[in-house]
């Protein structure tokens, strides 16, 4: 890559730091800037990650910075927030997260952002929707990782159950990044064949694992970080290298899948403009109903976010 690429990561906690580390090893930017309210934490995380880049050698600058660094960043990740506690749903984080998102909108308001903004903060669909409105940017430019991590977990489970390579699996989790997410089983292909060709795969178990793995990790170690770090870095690579990759992210829907006034996880073509196209999978009537139910959950919480922290 000849031109200089810069990524800002706002929030240098578990998620932000793991994203930054994974971004280094995808080599998709020459400069990675960590920004945190706790400046000392951002400095320490940046130093620790920078130490990891000598063996093997990677000529990437990793440093702590400030909100002004977002003005000329090609890509901005938002990883502020708090990790879930055992027993908490992502929706339970809404009150704290939306107040932090409002504060962040104020911190970014002096700058005109030209880069793509990818939000990770939970509840992911609602916070991305709130940030897009608060930053007054178009839907292709502000979106969330949404069900990308759920999809990573789904692909992992299918590969483990079938003994096939993850690379042979095409599958998506759609809807909320949370407990109402759904799986369009009709669209799953494993080595080109539909799910019916793999009787060892139980649909209820796929859904249960996709919903449950995150909390299993939280129960064991208090935060999830590696899975989202790699997922975010893969997404960054698709954006910065204009790959036209098809990945599920949470983007505002304007009639696609029969939905509007909602942001939710759907497969999208990802390239240098961010979300370049939404792919509409042909869902069965049952699947369409499940997606509708998930969108209703998100819509209800979008309205709640606007009550908790009204946008100016």
Ligand X SMILES: NC(=O)c1ccc[n+]([C@@H]2O[C@H](COP(=O)([O-])OP(=O)(O)OC[C@H]3O[C@@H](n4cnc5c(N)ncnc54)[C@H](O)[C@@H]3O)[C@@H](O)[C@H]2O)c1
Q: Give the H/E segment covering residue 263.
A: strand 260-271
CB of 214 to ligand X, least distance (A): 7
Report the nearest approach of ligand X to the CB of residue 79 (Å).
5
Min dist CB 225 to ligand X, Å, is: 7
Residues 152-191 that bind ligand X (CB under 6 A): 177
| CB-CB neighbours of 164 under 10 Å | 15
Q: Sheet with 75-78: list strands edge to edge.
A: 61-64, 31-35, 6-10, 75-78, 116-119, 142-144, 245-254, 260-271, 274-278
Verify binding: residue 301, ligand X, rule CB under 6 A. no
Near ligand X by CB under 6 A: residue from 30, 223, 288, 292: 223
Q: Is 208 in the site for ligand X (CB under 6 A)?
A: no
Other Cβ atoms closer than 10 A to 55: 7
Segment near ligand X (CB under 6 A); pick from 98-106, 108-116, 258-266, 281-289: 98-106
φ/ψ (deg, to 5) at 47: -65, -40
DSSP string, 218-257: HHHHS---HHHHHHHHHHHHHHHTT--EEEEEEEEEESGG
Question: From residue 10 to residue 39, what is the string marking binding to ligand X with x (rule CB under 6 A)?
Answer: xxxxxxx------------------xxxx-
Nearby residues of 2 by Cβ (< 8 Å), 6 or more positions away: none
CB of 81 to ligand X, least distance (A): 3
Is residue 18 among the annotated active site residues?
no
Q: Which 8-state DSSP code applies to residue 65? A: -
Which of residues 83 and 137 has its CB atom nearest to ligand X in the complex? 83
Q: Which of 136, 177, 211, 301 is catalytic?
A: 177
The CA distances from residue 47 to 34, 64, 65, 127, 257, in Å, are 10, 8, 12, 29, 45
| Contact residue for ligand X among 60, 100, 105, 239 (CB under 6 A) | 100
Q: Which stretch binds ligand X (CB under 6 A): 120-128, 152-160, 161-169, 289-297?
A: 120-128
**Catalytically active residues, by annotation:** 177
Note the residues at the interface with ligand X (CB under 6 A).
10-16, 35-38, 41, 79-84, 93, 97, 100, 103-104, 107, 120-122, 124, 145, 149, 177, 223-224, 228
């Amino acid at each position: 890559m000849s031109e200089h690429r810069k990524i800002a990561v706002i929030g240098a906690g578990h998620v932000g730091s793991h994203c930054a580390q994974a971004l280094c090893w995808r080599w998709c930017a020459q400069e990675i800037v960590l920004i945190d309210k706790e400046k000392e934490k951002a400095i320490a995380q940046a130093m620790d990650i920078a130490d990891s880049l000598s063996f093997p050698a990677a000529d990437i600058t990793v440093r702590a910075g400030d909100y002004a660094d977002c003005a000329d960043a090609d890509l901005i990740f938002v990883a502020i927030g708090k990790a879930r506690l055992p027993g908490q749903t992502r929706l339970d984080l809404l009150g704290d997260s939306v107040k932090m998102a409002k504060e962040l909108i104020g911190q970014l308001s002096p700058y005109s952002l030209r880069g793509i903004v990818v939000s990770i903060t939970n509840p992911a669909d609602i916070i991305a929707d709130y940030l897009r409105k608060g930053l007054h940017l178009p839907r292709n430019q502000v979106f969330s990782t949404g069900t990308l991590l759920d999809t990573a977990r789904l692909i992992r489970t299918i590969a483990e159950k079938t003994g096939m390579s993850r690379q042979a699996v095409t599958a998506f989790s759609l809807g909320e990044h949370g407990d109402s997410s759904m799986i369009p089983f009709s669209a799953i292909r494993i080595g080109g064949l539909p799910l019916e060709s793999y009787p060892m795969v139980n649909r209820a178990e796929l859904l249960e694992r996709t919903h449950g793995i995150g909390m299993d990790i939280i129960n064991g170690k208090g935060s999830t970080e590696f899975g989202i770090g790699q997922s975010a870095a893969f997404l960054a690579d698709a954006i910065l290298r204009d790959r036209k990759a098809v990945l599920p992210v949470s983007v505002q829907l304007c009639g696609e899948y029969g939905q509007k006034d909602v942001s939710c996880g759907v497969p999208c073509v990802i390239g240098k403009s961010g979300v370049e196209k939404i792919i509409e999978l042909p869902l069965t009537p049952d699947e369409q109903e499940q997606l509708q139910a998930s969108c209703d959950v998100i819509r209800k919480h979008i309205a709640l976010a606007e009550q908790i922290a009204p946008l100016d």
